[in-house]
Structure 1
Amino acid sequence: MKDIALKFQTEHLDNHTARFTVELDAERFENAKQKAARKIAKQVNIRGFRKGKVPYSVLVRNGFESYIINEAIEDLTQVVYREALEQSGVEPYGPGNFDDIQFDEEAAAPTFIYSVPLKPVVKLGDYRAIRKEFSVPEVTDEMLEKALEDLRKRHAVVDVKEGAAEAGDQVELDVHATFADDPPQLTEADADEGTDKQPEKGAPFMHEHGFVCDIDLDDDPVMPGFLEQIIGAKAEDELDFELTVPDDDQYSDITGRKIAFNIIVNQVKTVTLPELDDDFAQRVSADDPDGPFSLEQLREKIRETLQKELESRANEEYLNNVMDEIVSISEFTYPEAMVDDFIDDLVKELEERLKQQGISLEQFLNIMQKTNEELRADYREAAEVNIKRSLALGEILLQEHVSVPEEDIDAQIDEMVVQFGEQAETIRQIFDTPRMRSNIRQNLLQKALYDRIIAIAKGEEIPAPKAEQSQEDVQSEAEVSLQETPAETETEASDQEQE
C-alpha cells in the first residue's frame, strides 16, 4: 500500500521535549486491523473454521475485537513514530516515548501521542577571551626523598615475625568496624541545606580482609590512633577498641562519631629496607632503556618524573578551572532523558567500584540508608556538570576544527609497538585495526582538544582552524565531547562512598 501523508501536530515543550499528536488515517488503521485479524486467526480455534481462515466479522463476534485493535496499534506505533519524526524535521536526542492513545467516538481511527527528547543546544560564551594564570610547582627535596623512600619500600625484604608489632613493621589484618554511637539529629537548618542523615549505630564503617599496612605513625591509613592500637599485637591476636572520627576533610560528614573496631591480626612482618646507594640505584634501574643509573642519576631521573607529574596535574587543574569558566558563561538546553542517561552511567561506575570491594549496590544503599531514588538525586548535580562540560567540549571541537590526521595515529601505533622489540610487527596487527584506530583517534583527539583549550586560556598563538576539513568529519569526531574532563566532579554521593 502506498504511504499516506501523516496528519499530525508538533508542540515544543518547556522541558526541551517535542510532542507529536498524530491522527491516524482511517484507511490505514482499517488495513492494520485486517492484518492483525489475519495474524490472530492463525492462533485461535473457532468451531466451523480452520485456523487462519476465520473471517474478521466472526473474530469480532467471538470477542476478539479488542485483541485485534491492540495488535494493530502495536504494529503501527513504531512505524508511525518514525514517519512523524522524519516529516517533523525534529532532531532527537534519543528514542521517543509512546505516551498515550486517544479514541474519539466520531473518529474512525485513534490519535497517537508521542514525546521526543530533543537534541541539546549549546550557546557558547566568548571562550577565546578567557585568560588565566598558569604555574607549575617545582619538585622539592622533600618530594624527592619521599619518592626514594617509597622506592626502597617497594624493594624491601619482608619476613614473617613471631614477636609483637612495632613501628616500621608491616601487618596484615582483618578489619571489621561499625558506628558505635547514634547519629546526631538533623536540625531544620540541616534539612534546608539538604544534609543527609548519618549512618545508624551498628552500620558498617569498614569491612576488609587481608588489609596490609606499614606501621608508620606519621601516615595512618585509617584514622589517627589506629596504628597505635596495633603496636604490641602479635599474629592471631584479636583487638577491640574505639576511635573518634577526627575533624578533617576525609571524614567531614561524620566528624565526632565513634567507631568500634574489631581487628584480627593475621601476620606481623619485619621490613628491611635496602641501602640507598649506587648498587641499589643500578639494580632498580636495570630495565630502564637509559639505565642502569648511579644514585645521583637515579635522583635526577626521579626528579624529572616527579616534575612531569606535577605538570600533568597542573594542566588538569588548569583545564578544569578553564572549563568551569566556559560553562559559567555559556547557555545549555537539554532534555531530562540526557540527565537520566548520565546518572545511569555514574551509578554503573559506582556499582563497578563497589563490586571490586565485594559489596553490592543494594548492600551499599542499606549501609547508607538510602533508596535508589535518593542515590540518583545525589548524583544529579554531578550529571548536570558533566553534561554541560561534555556539550561545551563538543561545541568547541566543532568551532576550532580540531582533528587528528591518519599519520598521527600511525605514529602513535609505532610508539606503542616499539616496546615489544622483535614481536613489534606481530603486535602491530592487533593495534592496527579499525576499532583500535578509532580508539586511538578518540584519545588523540581528546588530548588535542584539551591542549587547544589550555593554549587559548594561556594566551598562546593558536593556529588557524583547518577550513578544508568537512563539517561531516568534524561532527563525527565530536564524539570526544562525551568524555569527561580529567578531574571528576566531587559529589555528596561519592564522598559517602569513600566513607
Structure 2
Amino acid sequence: MKSAVETLSPTRVKLTVEVPFEELKPSLDKAYKTIAQQINIPGFRRGKVPASIIDRQVGREAVVAQALDEIVTNAYREALEENELTPLAQPEALEVAERSGDDPVEFTAEVDVKPEIELPDYEGLEAKVDDLAVTDEDVEEQVQNLRQRFGTLADVERAAADGDFVTIDLVATKDGEVVPGAEVSGMSYQVGRGGMLDGLDEALVGLSAGESKDFTSQLVGGDLVGEGVEVKVTVTAVQEQELPEVDDEFAQMASEFDTVEELTADVRERLTRGKRLEQAAAARDAVLEALLDKVSVPLPETMVTDELNARRQSVEQQLAMAGITMEKYLEDEEQTIEEFEADLERRVRDAVAAQFLLDEIAKREELGVDQNDLSQHIVRRAQQSGQDPQEFANHMFEHNHIPELVQEIVRGKALATLVETAKVTDESGEHVELKNLLPDGTIGEPQAEEAEAEAEADVETDADETAETSDEAGTEK
C-alpha cells in the first residue's frame, strides 16, 4: 500500500491511498464466503457455492464492490497510522477511483486532523488569583442560615412583610381566560424569596389574611412562557418566623459542638476550605490561560462550529428548564445577543485549544490511566449527575463512552501537572498551596519526595547556623 498526504490547512489533510490488487485478495475471499452464505444455488450446500458460480449468478463486480468497502476502511486506517495523523472526525469527500480488471484500488479522502503543536516551556507558569478571605459577614450569613433551619412559624395578625411566610391562592388569566397550569391554592411562599413571578413579592408586601391584589407579569413556563398575563394573588394566612437565640444551647441543638465559639469556629473553617477549593479552581483556569497566552493553536473550524452549537443548545435547554427566556437572561446579564455570541465563541475556542495542549502535555509526560483512575472517575461523574455508579458505568460501556472518560482523566492529570509546577500567588503576593490540596479543601502533608527535600533544606539551614555560631565564637576569642 502507498499513501500520500496533502496538507490543506494546519488542521485538514487530503489522503491519497493506492492498494495493489493482490492485497485485495483476503477481502475478496471474505466477500465470496459472505455471499455464499446468503444465496441458494441448486446442487450446492449453503456456504459451499464456488466463486465461479457466484461470479455468474451475482456478478464479479458485486463481489469486488463488497470487498472494496472493507479494503478502503482498513487502508484508510493504516494510512492514518503510517502518516501519524490523528483524525478528529469521519472522513469527508471520500472518492474511490474507477478501476477495471486487476488495476490497483485508489481512493482519496479529506479529514480534519489534530494539529501539530510545538509546546512552549510550561514548567513554572505564573498566575495570580484573588485573596482567600472569609469575613465575619460570611460567617454570620451561615449561622443565620442555620438559625432559619431550626426556626419555627407563628401566625400573626398583621400585614405581610419581607421575610414572612404566607399561604396564598394565585391565578393567572389572559384575555379573561384562566391560563392552564397557572392556578394554585394553599401554597406556602416566603415573601422576598423571588424566582416565581415578577411582581409577586411587591404585591404581597402589605397584604393581610383575606386580602387580594392584582398585578401584571410574565409566565416563566408552559406554552405561554414570556407572555404577559393578569395575576390575582390572595393571602389566606401570614406567619412570622421565630429564630432561636445564638447561644450555647443553640450550638448543642444545631451541631455536635457545646459552645457558640466552637460552632462559629467550625463554620469559619468550613468556609475557608470551600474558599480554598474555589481559589484552586480559579488557579487552574489562570494557569491554563497563561499557557494559552504562550502558544497559538490552529483550530479546525468544523470542530469549533459543532462545539458552539452544542453549547448554545445546552444553554437554551438550561434556560428552558429554569423557565427563563433568552431575552430575559440577556437582560439580567446586561448583554446583547452579539456580546453573548462573541463571549461564547471565545470560550469555545479557548476550550478546544486547551484540549489539544493538554493532550500534547499528557503525551510528553507519558501520563496514563489505570483501572482505579477509571473507577474513581466513574463514581465521581455518577455522583455529579445524581445517578447510581453501576448504572452510570453500564451506560458508559454500552454506548462506548469509556474512551471519552479516559481522555477526561488524562487531560485532568495533564492540567494537574501544569498547576503543581506553576507559581501561583494571590493579590497580596502570598504563595497559593495547590500541590498538597486535598479534595475536602484541607492541606495535606507533603509527599515523601517533597518532605525529604524540606528535611534536607532544614539540615542545611541548621548546618549554616552552626557554622555562623562557630565563626562568631572564634571572632570573640
Bucket of the pairwise TM-score, normalised by the shorter protein: 0.5 to 0.7
Give the match for residue 165 of structure 2. Answer: 170
- Given that 2:164 and 2:238 are in contact with CA atoms closer than 8 Å, whether structure 1 keeps it comes out as yes
Partner AA of 1:303 in structure 2: R
Give the CA deviation at 1:110. 3.3
SS at match of 1:292: coil
Matched length: 378
CA distance in 2, matches of 1:333, 1:79: 29
User: Is this contact kept in 1: 2:88–2:113, CA < 8 A?
Assistant: yes
SS at match of 2:16: strand
**2:259: which partner in 1?**
293
Match of 1:278 among 218, 237, 248: 248
2:117 maps to which of 122, 127, 138: 122
What are structure 2's unaligned runs of at least 5 residues? 176-181, 221-225, 330-339, 377-401, 434-448, 450-477
Is the contact between residue 208 and residue 235 of structure 2 (CA under 8 Å) also seen in structure 1?
no
CA separation of 1:285 and 1:32: change in aligned 2, threshold 3 A: closer
Asked whether the 8 Å contact 1:172–1:266 carries over to 2, the reply is yes
For the 8 Å contact 1:103–1:109, the answer to whether it is kept is no
Separation (CA, whole Å) in 1 of partners of 2:171 and 2:4: 62
- Alignment match, 2:382: none
CA-atom RMSD, angstroms? 5.7
Looking at structure 1, the residues matched to 361 and 202 of structure 2 have their Cα atoms a distance apart, in angstroms, of 53
Q: Hey, what's the Cα distance between the residues in 2 that align with 1:101 and 1:210?
A: 71
Q: Distance in 2 between matches of 1:456 and 1:325?
A: 13
CA contact (8 A) 1:124 1:329 kept: no
Distance 1:30 1:126, change over 3 A: closer
Matched, 1:215 2:191: yes
Which residue of structure 1 lines up, in the alignment, with residue 17 of structure 2?
22
2:167–2:189 contact (8 Å) kept in structure 1: yes
Q: Percent identity?
A: 25
Deviation at 1:102, TM superposition (A): 1.7
Is the aligned partner of 1:86 residue 2:81? yes
The correspondence of residues 134-149 of structure 1 with structure 2, limited to 5 A, is 134-136=129-131, 138-149=133-144
User: How has the CA–CA distance of structure 1 residues 443 and 112 changed in structure 2, closer, same or farther, with 3 Å as cutoff?
Assistant: closer
1:332 paired with 2:306, answer no
Give me the whole-angstrom Cα distance separating, in 2, the residues matched to 1:102 and 1:24: 12
Task: Report SS of the residue matched to 1:167.
Answer: coil
What is residue 242 of structure 1 aligned with on the other side?
A: 217
- Which runs of structure 2 are paired with 1:440-479 in the superposition (5 Å)? 449-455=418-424
The answer to whether the Cα contact below 8 Å between 2:91 and 2:110 also exists between their aligned partners in 1 is: yes
Q: What do the CA deviations read for 1:134-193 (whole angstroms, capped 9, x no partner)?
A: 54164334333322222211222247899975432235889999999xxxxxxxxxxxxx
**Structure 1 residues 258 and 130, CA gap change in structure 2 (3 angstroms):** farther
CA offsets, 1:106-157, max 9 Å, x none?
8724323344543344344565676555541643343333222222112222
1:103 offset after TM fit, Å?
0.9
Seen in structure 2, the aligned counterparts of structure 1 residues 378 and 364 have a Cα distance that, compared at 3 Å, is farther
- The amino acid across from 1:241 in the alignment is T
- Cα distance 1:173–1:354, how it changes in 2: closer, same or farther (>3 A)? farther
* Alignment correspondent of 1:475: none
Distance 1:209 1:95 in 2: 56
CA distance in 2, matches of 1:265, 1:164: 12
Whole-angstrom CA distance in 1 between matches of 2:174 and 2:417: 48
CA contact (8 A) 1:98 1:114 kept: yes
The alpha-carbon distance between structure 1 residues 300 and 130, as it changes in their structure 2 partners (threshold 3 A), is same
Distance 1:122 1:236 in 2: 70
- Cα displacement (A) at 1:455: 3.2
Could you tell me which runs of 5 or more consecutive residues in structure 1 were left unpaired when the two chains were aligned.
Answer: 1-5, 181-205, 246-256, 369-374, 413-434, 463-468, 470-499
2:390 equivalent in structure 1 = none
2:103 to 94, 108, 119: 108
Aligned equivalents of 2:46 and 2:77: distance in 1? Answer: 33
CA displacement at 1:338 relative to structure 2:
5.1
Q: Does 1:230 align with 2:194?
A: no
1:247-262 aligned at under 5 Å gives the runs 259-260=228-229, 262=231
Q: Is contact 1:179–1:258 with CA below 8 Å preserved after alignment?
A: no
Counterpart AA for 1:390? Q
1:153 counterpart (135, 141, 148): 148
Report the AA paired with residue 190 of structure 2. Answer: D
Q: Does 1:386 align with 2:351?
A: yes
Quote the Cα distance in structure 1 between the aligned partners of 2:183 and 2:120: 48
Equivalence map 1:358-369=2 (5 Å): none
Structure-1 separation of matches of 2:101 and 2:188 = 77
Measured after TM superposition, the shift of residue 262 of structure 1 is 5.0
Q: What displacement does 1:398 show?
A: 7.0
Distance 1:157 1:445 in 2: 51
Name 1:75's counterpart in structure 2.
70
Secondary structure of 2:38 counterpart: coil
| Superposition deviation, residue 14 in structure 1 | 0.4
* 1:16 CA drift (Å): 1.5
Decide whether the 8 Å contact of 1:158 with 1:269 is kept in 2. Answer: no
How far does residue 350 in structure 1 lie from its aligned partner after superposition?
Answer: 5.7
CA distance in 1, matches of 2:72, 2:164: 70
Once the two structures are superposed, residues 178-230 of structure 1 have per-residue CA deviations (whole angstroms, 9 ceiling, x without a partner) of 999xxxxxxxxxxxxxxxxxxxxxxxxx99999975313xx644687431123
Are residues 1:11 and 2:10 paired? Answer: no
Q: Quick check: 1:175–1:207 contact (8 Å CA) kept in 2?
A: yes
Counterpart CA distance in 1 for 2:368 and 2:183 is 48
**C-alpha separation between the residues in 1 aligned to 2:26 and 2:360?**
46
Are positions 1:323 and 2:301 aligned together? Answer: no
Is the CA contact 2:170–2:183 (under 8 Å) kept in the aligned structure 1? yes
Q: Which amino acid aligns with 1:383?
A: V
Deviation at residue 42 of structure 1 after TM alignment: 2.9
Helix, strand or coil at the partner of 1:298: helix
User: Following the alignment from structure 2 to structure 1, what is the Cα–Cα distance between the partners of residues 120 and 11?
Assistant: 21
**Cα distance in 2, alignment partners of residues 235 and 317 from structure 1:** 51
Classify 1:142/1:243 alpha carbon distance in 2 versus 1 (closer, same or farther; 3 Å): farther
Change (3 A) 1:56 1:134: closer
Query: Do the aligned partners of residues 274 and 85 (structure 1) sit closer, same or farther apart at CA in structure 2, a change above 3 Å counting?
Result: same
Distance change >3 Å, CA 306–CA 35, structure 1 → 2? closer
SS at match of 2:422: helix
Conserved 8 A contact 1:124-1:326: no
Distance 2:5 2:142 in 1: 64
* C-alpha displacement of 1:273: 1.9
